[in-house]
Amino acid sequence: MRYFFACFTLYLLSISVPTQSYAQISLTINDIAKIHFIDGAGYLGGYYRNEYDLLPENGQWKTYQTHESYSRYNRHRGNPKDLFEKKDSSEYKFIRNLPADSIDLFLKTLRVIKPKFDPAALHISIPQLTVQVDTQLKSMDKKHLQIFNSFFDTPAKLYHLLDTLQYDVWTDDSPYSVMEIIRKNRDTIKVYTTRQVDYMLPWTVNGVSSYDININHFFMAAIGVSDHRMSGRSISYHIREWVDFLYARNAFERLRWQETAPQTLIYIEKHFVIVNVNQWNDYTSFTFQPKALNKRIIIGGTLNFNDQDELARLTRFAEDTLKQFMKNGGFMIDSCMHKNGCTIHFANNHGHSLHDYFSINQNSVDTYLSKYDRKQLVPFSIFAGERIEDNWVALPDGNFLLIAYLDHYAVGVSPQYIDQTRTGQRWFVLKLFSGDGKLIEEKN
């Protein structure tokens, strides 16, 4: 999932692990009765599942398809009532002969587990990738193309992107690829992956993760396919999408400022660290860190960078309003200041503090806050990692209203005030706290 306020920074987890370990699985081709393959996926609007057997026959190893089923949308079918085509067949169909050397190489691969992702092992050609990406950016001029390509024009930059892509996830997509190596003594070794990402790494080999791309090569060769997610067929598309999301929009908007309003850019950089900017219609969506405040304070919103009044109001909001707000403090703010990676986010549109907030309990929150002047309310969010996001409203009387948090933790809040049994989602609540962290009132 990609969160608006979290997109401006990315932390990579670096763990010191061995690049390989030996003797995970030891067997020879003569130990194998057959290898059973399952390849499938469920996705929005359809699914497919194919099964194969690779087995010795008359001195050769042969692959047969044993089952094929799918349900998929076909817009070319004439009858609107019959746009989904389906199949469920157990026809036994010959696919290909597979050299014994390929199986031997695969078995050697299983003996040496590679527990760490190695982007260099994908052997992606930067020139070829650049051509593929440029083809997708047909309407972009030469200057913008050069900027875009500059984010993956060295192995270090490309490997960084490939590494970050390993953490991307999305919904409505459930691929699975399985190999069951059945020994002659009927023992079974299971090798499988259910990863959504390009190349589908890592594989799980008898319960242990392996990032060996050679397993991909064997799987595709054995069942006779090349156009497969585990081949990395969409990697240029995802690199383009990732570069656009993480870097290019920001770089293009900064270029627009430099070319059309250089003095405005000088003014902004005097008062703010520009974390991220992006053109949004005729305006700019921005994420700034005010230089006059603690580096943990972030402002996000929308502005017209040619409107000097908006810029002046934004600066006053940062250097006057928020400066006083931070001076007044609060228990969750103090806790965030002492927590690694914790940031506090405020919203400002066109130079005006944004007083809106969102909660599934919107009616209850609105009713509760109706006794206050809405312009005196200060909504803010605290982020402190992938699964820590708390939403607050600061009240003019010095109290704070917690309206949402994730799992069973909110920064600075005593565990006694949080239901410790609830995890796995965002909880929308109405909990009123004093500035020193005491729970004053709670409503369901």
Q: What is the pLDDT of residue 7?
A: 36
Nearest to 84 by CA among 117, 48, 111, 115: 48
Report pLDDT digits (tens) over 38-68.
Answer: 999 998 889 999 999 999 999 999 999 999 9
Q: What is the pLDDT of residue 75?
A: 67
Q: How many CA atoms lie within 13 A of 35 on its CB side?
A: 28
Is the pLDDT at 433 greater than 90? The verdict is yes
For 315, the token pair is: 């600066």
**Average of pLDDT values for 101-128?**
95
What band does 362 get if pLDDT is binned at 50, 70 and 90? low
Among residues of the chain, what percentage have pLDDT more than 90?
78
Query: Long-range contact list for 171-177, CB < 8 A, 24+ apart?
Result: 172/43, 172/44, 173/41, 173/42, 173/43, 173/44, 174/41, 174/42, 174/43, 175/40, 175/41, 175/200, 175/229, 176/38, 176/39, 176/40, 176/41, 177/37, 177/38, 177/39, 177/40, 177/219, 177/230
Is the pLDDT at 16 greater than 60? The verdict is no
For residue 98, which amino acid is it? L
Q: What is the pLDDT of residue 425?
A: 84
Q: What is the pLDDT of residue 264?
A: 93
CB-based burial of residue 384 (10 Å sphere; 0-12 exposed, 13-18 middle, 19+ buried)?
buried
Q: What angle do CA 132, 11, 6 make, to 5 degrees?
A: 85
Among residues of the chain, what percentage have pLDDT more than 70?
91
**Average of pLDDT values for 5-22?**
38
Q: What is the pLDDT of residue 1?
A: 35
Cβ atoms of 341 and 384 within 8 Å: the answer is yes
**Average of pLDDT values for 199-221?**
95
Report pLDDT digits (tens) over 270-298.
Answer: 999 999 999 988 899 999 999 999 999 99
What band does 443 get if pLDDT is binned at 50, 70 and 90? confident
Report pLDDT digits (tens) over 118-161.
Answer: 999 999 999 999 999 999 998 899 999 999 999 999 999 999 99
Is the pLDDT at 103 greater than 70? The verdict is yes
Q: What is the pLDDT of residue 160?
A: 96
Using the Cα atoms of residue 416, residue 418, residue 419 and residue 424 in order, give the sign of their dihedral: negative
Q: What is the dihedral of CA 135, 137, 140, 146, to 10 degrees?
A: -80
Report pLDDT digits (tens) over 58-101.
Answer: 999 999 999 999 998 776 666 656 677 899 999 999 999 999 99
Q: What is the pLDDT of residue 357?
A: 74
Q: What is the pLDDT of residue 96?
A: 98
Rg (Cα) of the chain, in Å, rounded?
28
Q: What is the pLDDT of residue 424?
A: 73
Q: What is the pLDDT of residue 23?
A: 43
Report pLDDT digits (tens) over 163-186.
Answer: 999 987 777 889 999 999 999 999
Average pLDDT of the chain is: 90
**Average of pLDDT values for 314-342?**
96
**Average of pLDDT values for 209-220?**
97
Q: What is the pLDDT of residue 153?
A: 97
Q: What is the pLDDT of residue 15?
A: 30
Residue 263: partners with Cβ closer than 8 Å, 6 or more residues away:
none
Q: What is the pLDDT of residue 385?
A: 86
Total number of residues shown for the chain: 444
Q: What is the pLDDT of residue 426?
A: 86
What band does 10 get if pLDDT is binned at 50, 70 and 90? very low
Is the pLDDT at 5 greater than 60? The verdict is no
Is the pLDDT at 257 greater than 80? The verdict is yes
Q: What is the pLDDT of residue 367?
A: 86
Is the pLDDT at 308 greater than 50? The verdict is yes
